[in-house]
């Protein structure tokens, strides 16, 4: 299995600011992904973090709002830009390895 570490684990932010979430995997993986879980909802894929190229975003998510970096095969960041209360969610990093998808502990973001 893969161990995925995220930080921060939680944060409270002011409207209009930006926050960057870091994700570290304990082994090299080709595929990393970012998911969002809004309060009381299930998970929705934001984007695929591609190493060495621009992330691939799902419908409804754009690079200006959720810029993603993937500098190597073990690390990725997700930035939530110009935050509003509607961005309050748990953001989860995941990696596909050993034939299945593994998740980090998530970053709980509250926007006031």
Residue 69 binds other proteins (CB under 8 A)? no
Cα(30)–Cα(39) distance, rounded to whole angstroms?
30
Question: In this chain, which of 75, 77, 96, 110 binds other proteins, going by CB under 8 A?
Answer: 96
75 touches other proteins by CB under 8 A? no
CA atoms within 13 A on the CB side of 91: 28
Q: From residue 63, give the alpha-carbon distance in Å to each of 2, 58, 103.
A: 27, 10, 22
Residue selected from 25, 74, 106, 109 as contacting other proteins according to rule CB under 8 A: 106
Q: How far is the CB of 75 from other proteins (least distance, A)?
A: 16
What b/e string do you get for 31-40 counting C-beta neighbours within 10 Å, with b at 16 or more?
A: ebbbbbeeee
13, 45, 57, 77: residue in contact with other proteins (rule CB under 8 A): 45
| Stretch of residues binding other proteins (CB under 8 A), selected from 14-22, 61-69, 73-81, 99-107 | 99-107
């Amino acid at each position: 299995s893969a161990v995925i570490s995220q930080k921060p684990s939680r944060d409270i932010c002011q409207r209009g600011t930006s926050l960057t979430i870091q994700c570290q995997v304990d082994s090299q993986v080709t595929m990393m992904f970012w998911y969002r879980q809004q309060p009381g909802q299930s998970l929705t894929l934001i984007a695929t973090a591609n190493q060495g190229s621009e992330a691939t975003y799902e419908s409804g998510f754009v690079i200006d709002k959720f810029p993603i970096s993937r500098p190597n095969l073990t690390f990725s960041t997700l930035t939530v830009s110009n935050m509003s209360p509607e961005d309050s969610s748990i953001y989860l990093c995941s990696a596909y390895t050993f034939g299945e998808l593994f998740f980090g502990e998530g970053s709980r973001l509250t926007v006031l």
